[in-house]
Amino acid sequence: MLTRFLLYGFMGWSVEVFWSAVEDSCLRGARDWRLKGQTYLWSYPLYGLIVFLFEPLHNAVRPLPWVARGLIYVMAIWTVEYAAGWTLKRTFGRCPWDYTVYPHHLHGLISWDYFPLWFVFGFALEYLHDRLVTLTPYIVAAFHL
């Protein structure tokens, strides 16, 4: 599980950097073709938690229709994002992400505008989860010389 925690953390960081670069440069009209992306140190453990939170959820909802699974994934992602943001804000006085610039948000901690993205992301995680469970023993063996 530690291996997948580390992998999910790195992959989450990578996707977040990629997405923030594309979103800022292409979708928001910044037209900065350097495609500078960003992430936060706090994001790493949040993405790593996928191994403990998403994987069991995915196993539990496998038999459900895809629409139901997608909605469950969005709700779970928003719950974790809101709880983590609220905790960081309460502990440190500020949350690293701030959705108050979006028209539809809840306390600046989650944004309804990201619904389609999180819906699709859940299915990407389904695919990734199934592959990583199969590959993890080989990855561990490769690093234990």
In a domain, 10, yes or no: no
Nearest to 11 by CA among 140, 131, 143: 131
Please give the residue range of the domain that contains residue 116: 42-143
**Largest Cα–Cα distance in the chain?**
52
pTM: 0.88
Give the Å distances, CA to CA, from 61 to 58, 65, 67, 72, 117: 5, 9, 11, 9, 19
- Tens of pLDDT, residues 112-124: 999 999 999 999 9
In a domain, 16, yes or no: no
In the chain the beta strands, taken as DSSP E runs, fall at 105-106, 110-111
What is the tally of structural domains in the chain? 1
Mean pLDDT of the chain: 92
In a domain, 24, yes or no: no
In a domain, 15, yes or no: no
In a domain, 34, yes or no: no
- CA–CA dist 130, 6 (Å, integer): 16
